Structures are given as structure tokens and as C-alpha cells.
Structure 1
Amino acid sequence: MRWVTFDCFGTLVDWRHGIATSAELLFPGYGGRLLDAYNRHEMAVQTETPALLYREVMAETLRRACATEGLDLGADDAGILARTLPYWPVYPEVGPELGALRSAGWRLALLTNCDRDLIGLTQRRLPVPFDAVITAEDAGGYKPSLGHFERFRSSHEPSEWVHVAQGYIHDMVPAHALGLRRIWINRLAETPADPSIPQTTQPDLHGLLTALQ
């Protein structure tokens, strides 16, 4: 069976918008700064406590981001990202592009650094169904550890497998380590530390089916 696996947040869902606008609700004018601070801390929290649920990862990361910016985060406000995550916007090309993949016979899966309940709520807003989902809860840790990929491979034994994601460190690096075919959705126009890690690079999902052929 031919499979395309996706990261969800950053690849299909605009998590930067979600985090920044949620932070703006708490601290008007600080959304962008808190987003940047959040990005600097999240991987450390995931690495320190790989068994921690993602809603708690987000809360602890937001606490550290606010401390970095000298902002007093109320105890009840630390969970705002988990509360707003199911409403974060889906990128507009996701529906047509993933629909084209399904019509061409590809099976779709999510490999997400998220909790089962949160990704379940997000899936209700994704415009196409997925055939499989592997969460951080299922894998027992967070990408870039290989647990998501290994669990997917053992469960589904794909004959052809392409991994598509926005995350360079979280997704492209482990996919490269496993020898998977990989497509980097470089929405932020980043320069990769090693240009050989992503095999194919494109700015969004437009033309994904063509890239797979």
C-alpha cells in the first residue's frame, strides 16, 4: 500500500497563527514575541519529559515563554493553547491537495506530536479523512525521536512511504535517518542546516500529487 504521512501542526494547520493569537488574548501586543519565545522552549520541554501529555507540554512551554518575556501568566491561563488548538486554522490548500492524493490511491496518515483527544478534535475540522493516526501518546515520546515512525511502520508495513512535513528538525531529520522519501513544506522559507536532508522542498502543499509522481 502507498502511504503519505504528514505532520499536522505547521504542515496542515497554521499553528503559528494559533499560538500568536491565543497569546494576544492574554497579553495584547505580545503575540509575536511570545510565539518566538515559545518556539525556543518547546523542544526542551519535550526532551526533558517525553511522557508528558502535549497539553502539559504547551502549558509548561507557555510558562517559560512568559517568564522569558517578563510576563505574569495566571495559573488558569496556562492551558489556553490546549483550549484553542481545535480551532486553529487549516491552510486553505489542504482540502484540495489531500483530496487529490486520496483520489489517486494514496493512503493518508498523521504522525503528530499531540495528544489523542486534541488531534481528535482537530480532525473534525480537517477537510479529508485520515486512514491512520500516530500520536505522541502512542509513540511514548516526541519527534524527532523515531517512535512515531517505527510504530507506523510496524503497524502498517507500507510498500511505498513518503513523509511530508514542515518541521525540519522534528520531521525531516528523523525521516532522513530512516531512509524515507521526504518532502519538506518550507512555509517559513528557512535555510536548512544540511540541504541534503530534505529531498524535495516546496513552499506549501500545492502540487503535492505531482511531486509524488
Structure 2
Amino acid sequence: MAVEWVTFDCYGTLIDWERGITDALLPLAPPGTSRKALAEWYIAMEAEFEAEGYHLYKHILDRVSRRLLEALDVPVAPDVASPLPTSVGEWRPFPEVPAALAELRAGGRKLAILSNVDRDLLELSIAQLGIRPDLAVTGQDAGSYKPVSGHWRVFLQKSGARADSTVHVGASQYHDMRPAAALGFRTVFVDRHGEALETSPTRVIGDLAPLPAVIEELARA
């Protein structure tokens, strides 16, 4: 079946946000703090705050970083800026991402990013990718956070695309694979951490390098 659009989650899929977050927080954390543990704590705390309802994502970054550093006994003073909101522009893409996006674009695919962050923060990350998506849908546009279906519904409305001619690519089974599949999208799970499958994605890849070939395969299926 034809693939007109390829939609992407951004952070964890295109941008190495765990590295970006821990690069920003580790200099403030106690010596010996584990990068892996710090990332896991952040992800768990972020999910708690997002479950409270929609707020600008920069406020989530601020609240989570303050709570996390307070838990590590290195609190940030109220009158001092927390490190995460200002660090987003320094978060880098995974090494294979720019080439994979360029190959998809050269193959005639339209590209979209569906992200929970704010418009201004996403623009900072788009500047790192080497290619501009044809469409971007943020938490501000949807008024909600994934896994709520708002991002996909806004995408369909703005693009005029059909779900069955679109493939959604993401690194989170919870935020991306399950809700996208429920709306009729084919899905590609980017399993960067060797997770146990709790969903049934159309395809599973370890990084984005094989994605252009996978999309070609799905277009012929």
C-alpha cells in the first residue's frame, strides 16, 4: 500500500534527548550519579507531570528538573533558571538520522514530526536535523500530550492525508506505537534499548538507518 507520509516522534526517535537531558543535569548532580539512572528518573517524573494535563512543555522541563535535583539533594534556588528548558537547542540528533531523513525526502516521501514539546522548542531541534519537515504538530497545536490521539488527528486534518497511507515512526510503545495503531496507522518501532514488545508494530528497527528501505518495502506490500 502506498506510503505518502512518514510521521515521526522527535525526542528519543530523531533527537537523543536522554543524552541531552543528562548532559544538562549531570554537572549539577552529586558525583557518581549514573547517567542511565538519571535518565530513567527523569522519564518517570515527566510522565507523572504530563498525566496532570496539558501545560507548556518548557514548564514540564522546569518542574521535572527542579524536582529531580531536589531529590538528589542539590536543589535549584527559585530565582535561578533550571537547566533543561535552555538546553534543548543543544540536544543532538542520533548520528544516522540526517541521512535517513534526506533519503526519505529524496524518495518522494512527505515528512512530519509529532511532538509533545512547544513550537519554539521544536524549532530548535528541527535546526539540528539538516532537513525541515513538511508539517509539524506540537503539544501546543494538539492541546494535549501523546499518547492522547490529538497529535494524529491534527496531522490528518492539516495534511489531508489518510492514516492508511501514512507510517508513524517512534521509539515509545506507550506514547506512539499503541495510539497510532489504534487510529489505523502502520507503525515502525525504533527499539534503541532492546525492549520487550508490548505492542504489535508493523516493523521493528534498531535505529533509523534501515528506515528508507523499510518504507519502500511497506509501500510495495
For Structure 1 versus Structure 2, the TM-score category normalised by the shorter chain is over 0.9
CA distances 1:162-188 after superposition (whole Å, capped 9, x unpaired): 000111111111111112100000111
- Partner SS for 2:204: strand
Match of 1:119 in 2: 122
1:193 Cα offset (Å): 2.3
- 1:51-90 matched pairs, under 5 angstroms: 52-76=55-79, 79-90=82-93
Match of 2:99 in 1: 96
Match of 1:164 in 2: 169
- Partner SS for 1:130: coil
CA distances 1:87-146 after superposition (whole Å, capped 9, x unpaired): 111111111111111111000010011101111122112111210000000000100000
- Partner SS for 2:10: coil
Distance in 2, matches of 1:74 and 1:190, equals 37
8 Å CA contact 2:142–2:150 kept in 1: the answer is yes
Distance in 1, matches of 2:130 and 2:97, equals 7
- Partner SS for 2:87: helix
1:25 Cα offset (Å): 2.2
Q: Which of 8, 23, 44 lines up with 2:48 in the alignment?
A: 44
1:31 Cα offset (Å): 5.5
Distance in 2, matches of 1:193 and 1:157, equals 31
Distance in 1, matches of 2:178 and 2:104, equals 24
Q: Which of 184, 195, 198 lines up with 1:179 in the alignment?
A: 184
Distance in 2, matches of 1:183 and 1:46, equals 24
Match of 1:155 in 2: 158
C-alpha change, 1:2 and 1:110, in structure 2 (3 Å) is same
Distance in 2, matches of 1:175 and 1:187, equals 19
8 Å CA contact 2:28–2:74 kept in 1: the answer is no
- Give the residue type in structure 2 aligned to 1:44: E
Are residue 106 (structure 1) and residue 109 (structure 2) matched?
yes
Match of 2:16 in 1: 14
Distance in 2, matches of 1:177 and 1:84, equals 34
Deviates more, 1:98-107 or 1:71-80: 71-80
Distance in 1, matches of 2:112 and 2:95, equals 19
C-alpha change, 1:104 and 1:173, in structure 2 (3 Å) is same
Any gaps of 5 or more consecutive residues in structure 1?
A: none
- Give the residue type in structure 2 aligned to 1:59: D
CA distances 1:56-113 after superposition (whole Å, capped 9, x unpaired): 0111122332344344233355531111111111111111111111111000010011
Deviates more, 1:20-29 or 1:73-82: 73-82
RMSD, aligned α-carbons: 1.6
Are residue 190 (structure 1) and residue 195 (structure 2) matched?
yes
Distance in 1, matches of 2:95 and 2:177, equals 23
Count of matched residue positions in the alignment of Structure 1 and Structure 2: 210
